[in-house]
């Protein structure tokens, strides 16, 4: 191709690109990321300290040793002044934070369309469909989403019913079921099969119920039911034996009830008091139940189990230069299984932050976890206890507990009971009952 022909072609391509850019919708860019470097005084990598039986939750300041991020892109694709359609998306990724090149396929967590003003009976409501983080409620200090009915779904949210806003959603939550086709395979632990166990969840919430000055109440009901395909039949390994499971073991249902009171303007911050009760298939496994449980995914069928949770958390201002997050929690799972002891998790933690100026601050996080009957050892149930203390020097983009981006240099010390030796502290502290780590981490959201 001659130079004379290349130049007009390049101009035409440029015109097309600029024309497309001019007519493209405005893109909203949001996200979250944390990453850093760490080690420990005994040699080796930075270890995380997590009590056994908490569902994997721990006091996170100076206690995270991975790189995790979320990239969120969204755009309003239509708006005529009365109706609008918004497309939202989110990709998440996590790598080990151990070397330069760490490749991992991202997780597609959100792809949905939210339409406002399209329902004649409730023009203020939003109709939505697709994959979505749906009204998640969390405790930042331990990174725990205690109410997290997320996934592919559809629903109508924020219907004004006078006393509050009503939201209805149908969400799907599948889980991998591992089984054996024959009893002999299960006993020999050979030829493991896998399939997805489908579950449908209905979510009903009434939000914004006024209770007192600056106070509001949210009430919610979640109902879930297993949805196995065909005439399923298989075996699960049960100790040295095998247990037959059939379709009837996986179509159990369950429910979770939630009451959450939010007090605004509470010592310059907020306080949330959460009460939850889950039963049967919505109990899930471990005390980290969040409303997406599936009955019978192990040899210990969950039908008949229950969960009771009481959590109080918030952030308050203490004087001109100190803000503090706090948590007090009680969680109990009762098992409807012969010889299976109830499991109780009690947790208490504080993270005060002192601001030296508008950029620099010092944070101290102290957390304590005690899980009764956390694990079985030598034929008897043992407790898991963990105390974790972190001191961090921080530089933030502004003044305030939630100011981010933030760079922090930290030292973390943890101590646990003898019974938890080998279960807390990873490889570096496998034979210890205490450990110390240090490092530098950044955290940002936008």
Residue 440 sits at the vertex; the CA angle it makes with 438 and 444, to the nearest 5 degrees, is: 140
Q: CA–CA distance from 363 to each of 63, 410, 431 (Å)? A: 13, 9, 30
Question: How far is 252 from 200, CA to CA, in rounded Å?
Answer: 11
**The pair of three-digit structure tokens given for residue 42, joined into one six-digit string:** 């005994």
Decide if 35 contacts 406 (C-beta within 8 A). Answer: no
| Chain mean position to CA 102 | 23
DSSP state, residue 160? E
Backbone angles phi, psi at 258, to 5 degrees: -135, 135
What is the per-residue pLDDT for 2? Answer: 45
381 HSE (CA, 13 A, CB side): 12
Token duo for residue 377: 């050892």
Strand, coil or helix: 369: strand
- Per-residue pLDDT of the chain (446 residues), as tens digits, is 444 444 444 454 444 444 444 446 799 999 999 999 999 988 889 999 999 999 899 999 999 999 999 999 999 999 999 999 999 999 999 999 999 999 888 999 999 999 999 999 999 999 999 999 999 999 999 999 999 999 999 999 999 999 999 999 999 987 777 788 888 888 888 888 887 778 889 999 999 999 999 999 999 999 988 777 667 778 887 778 888 877 766 667 889 999 999 999 999 999 999 999 998 878 865 565 666 665 555 555 567 888 999 999 999 999 999 999 999 999 999 888 777 889 999 999 999 999 999 999 999 999 999 999 998 888 899 999 999 999 999 999 999 999 999 999 999 999 999 999 999 999 999 999 999 999 999 999 99
Which residue in the block uniquely carries the two structure tokens 């040899």? 299
pLDDT score recorded for residue 441: 98
The DSSP letter of residue 6 is H
Q: What is d(CA 280, CA 302) in angstroms, rounded to the nearest whole number?
A: 6
| Helix/strand/coil for 140 | helix
- How many whole angstroms separate alpha carbon 329 and alpha carbon 272? 12
- Would you tell me how many other CB atoms lie within 10 Å of the CB of residue 214? 12
Residue 11's pLDDT is 52
Question: CB under 8 Å to 299, separation ≥6 — which residues?
Answer: 236, 237, 238, 243
CB atoms within 10 A of CB 442: 16
Calpha distance 407→442 (Å, rounded): 4
Q: How far is CA 87 from CA 27, 70, 84, 90, 110, in A?
A: 10, 17, 10, 11, 10
Residues present in the chain in total: 446
Strands 175-179 and 193-197, bridge-based pairing: antiparallel
Give the domains, in start order, of the chain with CATH numbers.
Answer: 24-103+341-446 (2.40.170.10), 117-326 (2.40.170.10)
CA distance 289 to 256: 10
Q: CA–CA separation, 31 vs 337, rounded Å?
A: 43
Ramachandran angles phi, psi of 418, nearest 5°: -60, -40
Phi, psi of 8 (to 5 degrees): -60, -35
The dihedral region occupied by 84, where left means phi > 0, alpha psi between -120 and 50, and beta the remainder, is: beta
> What is this structure's pTM?
0.88
CA atoms in the 13 A half-sphere facing the CB of 220:
33
């Amino acid at each position: 191709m001659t130079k004379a022909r290349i130049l007009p072609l390049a101009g035409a391509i440029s015109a097309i690109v600029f024309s497309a850019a001019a007519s493209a919708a405005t893109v909203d860019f949001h996200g979250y990321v944390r990453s850093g470097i760490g080690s420990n005084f005994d040699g080796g990598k930075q270890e995380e300290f997590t009590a056994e039986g908490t569902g994997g939750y721990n006091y996170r300041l100076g206690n995270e040793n991975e790189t995790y991020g979320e990239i969120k892109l969204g755009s309003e694709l239509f708006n005529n002044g009365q109706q609008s359609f918004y497309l939202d998306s989110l990709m998440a990724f996590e790598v080990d934070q151990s070397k330069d090149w760490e490749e991992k396929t991202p997780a597609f967590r959100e792809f949905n369309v939210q339409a406002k003003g399209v329902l004649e009976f409730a023009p203020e409501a939003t109709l939505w469909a697709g994959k979505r983080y749906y009204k998640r409620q969390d405790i930042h200090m331990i990174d725990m989403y205690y109410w997290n009915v997320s996934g592919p779904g559809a629903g109508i949210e924020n219907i004004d019913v006078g006393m509050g806003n009503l939201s209805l959603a149908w969400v799907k939550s599948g889980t991998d079921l591992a089984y054996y086709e024959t009893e002999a395979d299960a006993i020999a632990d050979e030829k493991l099969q896998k399939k997805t166990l489908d579950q449908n969840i209905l979510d009903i919430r009434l939000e914004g119920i006024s209770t007192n000055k600056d106070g509001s109440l949210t009430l919610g009901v979640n109902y879930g039911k297993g949805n196995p395909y065909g005439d399923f039949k298989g075996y699960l390994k049960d100790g040295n034996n095998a247990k037959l499971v059939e379709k009837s073991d996986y179509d159990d249902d369950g429910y979770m009830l939630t009451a959450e009171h939010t007090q605004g303007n509470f010592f310059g911050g907020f306080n949330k008091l959460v009460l939850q009760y889950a039963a049967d298939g919505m109990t899930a496994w471990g005390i980290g139940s969040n409303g997406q449980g599936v009955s019978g995914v192990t040899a210990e069928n969950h039908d008949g189990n229950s969960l009771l949770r009481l959590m109080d958390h918030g952030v308050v201002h203490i004087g001109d230069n100190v803000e503090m997050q706090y948590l007090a929690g009680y969680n109990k799972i009762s098992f409807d299984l012969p010889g299976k002891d109830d499991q109780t998790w009690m947790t208490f933690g504080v993270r005060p932050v002192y601001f030296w100026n508008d950029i620099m601050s010092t944070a101290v996080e102290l957390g304590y976890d005690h899980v009764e009957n956390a694990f079985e050892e030598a034929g008897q149930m043992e407790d898991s206890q963990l105390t974790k203390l972190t001191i961090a020097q921080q530089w933030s983009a502004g003044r305030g507990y939630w100011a981010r981006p933030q760079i922090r240099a930290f030292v973390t010390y943890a101590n646990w009971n003898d019974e938890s030796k080998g279960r807390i502290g990873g490889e570096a502290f496998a034979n210890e009952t205490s450990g110390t780590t240090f490092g530098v981490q950044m955290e940002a959201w936008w």
